[in-house]
């Protein structure tokens, strides 16, 4: 009934029925376990000791940032696609399980969705990471903490910026409350150089930090 009023189309191929049809879901390319700093293969997505400057002990990436990924992210940013977030959450949870990364996600860990700028939140009306975080927290028995890490700095839309511009964006984070000796999992949608996530992690020093990311581009040596 609802579909008649609001028909749903696949964001990639335009087929009607789902926001991301099963054929296009297959176009998401699985990433391989690597150290997020040097980007060499690393078992269980663990950051090598010699690479671990910021205290992020492991960083899980769901898929490569390819054309389909880019379309998903732009829908997140500009449309209010709750159903798309549901589909992506479901696929992401599957990835976390099949790769075994689930074993690194201790029950009761604090899950921090990467905050967005307040201005963007007001424009969009929601934080897409928070929607996905809710599904992940439920699945893996984590506790969402959404009022600790805040973000200020540039108010540019990240989706509109080129990779180069994004690198130059100054992300300033601040903590509202001190956290110490906690198991923390930060959730972000896309990471590029990792500079943003490193800035956030610096504030959370003294905790066991892991990161979940939906998408990341191929490492340079594979391009």
| DSSP helix/strand/coil, 39 | coil
Q: Which of 28, 31, 35, 61 binds Zn ion (CB under 5 A)?
A: 35
User: Which of 30, 44, 48, 202 contacts Zn ion by CB under 5 A?
Assistant: 48
Q: Considering the complex, what minimum distance in angstroms separates the CB of residue 21 from Zn ion?
A: 3
Render 139-175 in DSSP notation, one character per residue. HHT-EE--SSEEEEE----GGGS-HHHHHH--EEEEE
Name the minimum Å distance from CB 154 to Zn ion.
Answer: 28
172 is an interface residue for Zn ion by CB under 5 A: no
Shorter beta-carbon distance to Zn ion: residue 115 or 194: 194
The reply on whether position 24 binds Zn ion by CB under 5 A is yes
Q: Give dist(CA 126, CA 48) in Å, integer.
A: 35
CB of 121 to Zn ion, least distance (A): 29
Angstrom distance (rounded) from CA 133 to CA 3: 27
CA 206 to CA 102: how far, in whole Å?
22
The residues that touch Zn ion, with contacts defined as CB under 5 A, are 10, 12-13, 15, 21, 24, 35, 37-38, 48, 51
């Amino acid at each position: 009934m609802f579909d008649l009023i609001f028909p749903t189309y696949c964001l990639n191929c335009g087929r009607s029925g789902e926001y991301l049809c099963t054929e296009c879901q297959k176009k998401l390319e699985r990433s391989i376990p690597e150290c997020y700093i040097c980007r060499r293969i690393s078992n269980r997505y663990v950051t090598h000791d010699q690479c671990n400057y910021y205290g992020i002990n492991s960083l899980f990436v769901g898929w490569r940032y390819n054309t389909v990924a880019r379309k998903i992210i732009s829908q997140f940013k500009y449309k209010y696609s709750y159903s798309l977030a549901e589909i992506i959450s479901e696929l992401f949870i599957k990835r976390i399980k099949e790769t075994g990364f689930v074993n690194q996600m201790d029950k009761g860990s604090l899950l921090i969705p990467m905050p967005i700028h307040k201005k963007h939140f007001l424009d969009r009306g929601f934080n897409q990471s928070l929607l996905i975080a809710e599904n992940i927290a439920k699945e893996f028995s984590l506790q969402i903490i959404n009022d600790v890490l805040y973000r200020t700095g540039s108010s540019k839309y990240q989706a509109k910026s080129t990779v180069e511009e994004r690198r130059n964006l100054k992300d300033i984070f601040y903590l509202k409350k001190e956290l110490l000796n906690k198991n923390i999992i930060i959730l972000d949608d896309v990471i590029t150089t990792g500079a943003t996530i490193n800035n956030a992690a610096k504030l959370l020093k003294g905790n066991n930090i892991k990161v979940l990311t939906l998408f990341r581009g191929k490492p340079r040596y594979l391009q």
